Amino acid sequence: MLVFLAQSLYDYFTLARERQRPQFITISYSHYVELARWALEHSHTPFDEHGFAPGQHVFPTLSVRVAKNGSRNFSKSSVMVGTKASPTAVPTLVLVDGSVLNDSWEIAERFSGLAPMTLELKEILDNELGTKARKYIYSVLLKPQHAATFTKMVTEGRHWAWTCLWHCGFGFVFKSLLRGSMETSNSKKIEACKVDVEFLMSTKLAAFVNERKGEFLGGDELGQDDIALASLSSILICPEEYGGRSGTMFPFITKILASDPEFREFVLKMKATVVGEFCLKLYKEHRIPTSRK
């Protein structure tokens, strides 16, 4: 029933065919989305982004993951719980020929035009840094003191029906569900997650940066390794260029940094790591300028 409703409301396959450009379904501020968006923008690939808030994204994504022709395009990357393939993970990209790219890694590989990813680094970023950083950042976003900012993040510029639904009680329910899935109320687990992130940034990932043979991880030219590391680290170092042309996240993060000394201290600490400094330089020199400039 949910799949039928999703397919009735959204048809990105027809849009891709009629507009003759890929249709990009996202949660706008996701760091996984940032990797795919960076790859598309770096290669100057024309695309239409359909950005949603978490929760709002379920039906649009489901309409692509379970297509009308019966094909299933599930993602095994960036899973919330365990390793089961997800029918609602983002991002996903519908191509003009009707085929679907299932996650950021496939999109970057297909469109970036850059040297391919190193498997070892990809596994660390996808299975460790990406998921742990996401859990930590939600523990920050869902603090009571940031309630107004988070509400703006998920309603500003969205469909009026979603905004009404959020303010009529769904927002409270969804944040409760999100706190449960991200375990943000478990201070011990969040602290352990934070420690793991610090270790990854200062030691495990730092080794890739310190051992590089040129300006970039793969040598003398920008590669997928570089934009993947920068993207998956982005929500820890908060670069101004985050989001590329859209620039949807940074204004909100600026407010949170200004009002949350603990988070601000952590971000400054991450920026000062070898990985942080490397990734901030990549953003400054290689990310397409945002619409704010």
The tens digit of pLDDT for each residue in 138-184 reads 999 999 999 999 999 999 888 999 999 999 999 999 999 999 989 99
pLDDT band at 67 (very low <50, low <70, confident <90, very high): confident
| pLDDT(89) > 90 | no
Which residue ranges make up each domain of the chain?
2-111, 119-286
Rounded to whole angstroms, how far apart are CA atoms 136 and 269?
Answer: 15
Q: What is the pLDDT of residue 80?
A: 46
Spatial separation of the C-alpha atoms in residues 36 and 14, rounded to whole Å: 22
Average pLDDT on 10-29 reads 94
Q: 225-271, pLDDT tens digit by residue? A: 999 999 999 999 999 898 877 666 678 888 999 999 999 999 999 99
pLDDT number for residue 246: 64
Closest CA to 65 of 40, 101, 39: 101
In which band, very low, low, confident or very high, does the pLDDT at 292 lie, cut at 50, 70 and 90? very low
C-alpha gyration radius of the chain: 18
CA distance 139 to 287: 27
Q: Kindly state the percentage of the chain with pLDDT values over 70.
A: 89
Q: Does 279 or 290 have the greater pLDDT score? A: 279
Give, as one character, the DSSP assignment of residue 112: S
Q: Give the homologous superfamily in CATH for domain 2-111.
A: Glutaredoxin (3.40.30.10)
Burial 227-253 (b: 16+ CB within 10 A, else e): bbbbbbbbbbbbbbbbbbebbbbbebb
